[in-house]
Every structure is written in structure tokens, then in C-alpha cells.
């Protein structure tokens, strides 16, 4: 296995561990409060985070 492949495995393992930990410790997802599949035309305001936001 090349160093690049080893690094890929290490990187993905770390990312998967982070996501698993995060899903475990975070507040449970409220599936009844699911956003619409398509925001455009849904009538619901969007509240996601974006890097252009100052607040």
C-alpha cells in the first residue's frame, strides 16, 4: 500500500469517527420537523449557515 493510500485511509477513518461521535452526542434529529426537499417554492424561510454570513 502506498503512502497516499495509507493517508487516504487515515483521513477517512478520522472523518468517519468524527461524524459518528457527532451524531451520538448531538440532539436527536426531529424527523417530524424535516425541511421540504426543494426549498425553492416551498414557502418556508431558509435558515442554513453560510460562509458569507456576518452573524
Partner 1 sequence: MKRLPLAALVAAFFIFLLFFVSVRQAVLLLVGVGMGAALAGARFGFTTGWRQLIEQRDPRGVTGQAMLLALASAAALPLLGQFSELNAALGPPSVSLLVGAFVFGLTMQIADGCGSGTLYKAGLGVPLNAAILPLFALGSFLGSVHLDSWLALGQAAPVSLSAEFGTGAALGLTFAGLAIALVGVRLWVGPGRTWLERRWVWGAIALAVLATLNLVLAGQPWGVVYGFGLWAAKVSVALGLFDPAANAFWSQAGNAQRLTQTVLMDVTTITSIGILAGALWISASQSAADTQPLTLQQWAIGLVAGFVMGYSSRLAFGCNVGAMLSGISTGSLHGWIWVPLAFVGTVLGVRIRRRYGF
Contact status, residue 36 vs residue 44, Cβ threshold 8 Å: yes
CA distances from 48 to 27, 39, 44, 53 (A): 17, 11, 12, 10
Residues in the interface with partner 1 (CB under 8 A) total 40
Q: Decide if residue 4 touches partner 1 (CB under 8 A).
A: yes
Name the DSSP letter for residue 4.
H
Chain residues 8-47 in contact with partner 1, contact rule CB under 8 A: 8, 11-12, 15, 18-19, 22-23, 25-27, 29, 31, 34-47
Residues of this chain that bind partner 1 (CB under 8 A): 2-5, 7-8, 11-12, 15, 18-19, 22-23, 25-27, 29, 31, 34-55
Amino acid at each position: 500500500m502506498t503512502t497516499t493510500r495509507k493517508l487516504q485511509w487515515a483521513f477517512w477513518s478520522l472523518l468517519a469517527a468524527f461524524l459518528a461521535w457527532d451524531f451520538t452526542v448531538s440532539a436527536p434529529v426531529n424527523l417530524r420537523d424535516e425541511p421540504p426537499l426543494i426549498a425553492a417554492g416551498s414557502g418556508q424561510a431558509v435558515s442554513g449557515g453560510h460562509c458569507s454570513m456576518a452573524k
